[in-house]
Amino acid sequence: PGWSKVVARHLTQEDAGYFKLRYDQGGRWVARWANLRSRFFGLPYGDQGLLIRRELYNNVGGYSDQPLMEDVAIVLKLRGRLIPLDAFAVTSGSKYRQRGWFRQGARNLWTLFRYLTGKSPEDLARFYHR
């Protein structure tokens, strides 16, 4: 509720932003970590809802054609330009509930680390989707 006004106001001042994360059921600590990661390391994920003006999106080359981490790839291109919105994106926590909140969170961090240290998105996708 009220997110459209938040977005409209944001776009009068900024070119890009992201929503704070909340899960549909549970996962309060995982969402807090994601929000801290986004704020302090500038690494929001796509499930948080990235908001990017078309001109800026085109200038950075849009989303990379890769099987995984395409959200991280564009976020890295936008480093310093993504500003948190004062609104939440509510996303499904079903993968976390099925695999376990800690286990899935650790898996995501390991995948991010491997991506940032040069592992190919194709190799990561094979690992991630098992």
Q: Is the pLDDT of residue 78 over 70?
A: yes
Dump pLDDT digits (tens) for 83-107.
Answer: 999 999 999 999 999 999 999 999 9
pTM of the predicted protein model:
0.92
The pLDDT assigned to 35 comes to 97
Question: Which residue range is the domain that position 78 belongs to?
Answer: 3-128
Confidence of residue 129 (pLDDT cuts 50, 70, 90): confident
The pLDDT assigned to 99 comes to 95
Enumerate long-range contacts of 122-129, CB under 8 Å, 24 or more apart: 122/66, 122/67, 124/68, 124/69, 125/67, 125/68, 128/68
The pLDDT assigned to 1 comes to 59
Q: Domain total for the chain? A: 1
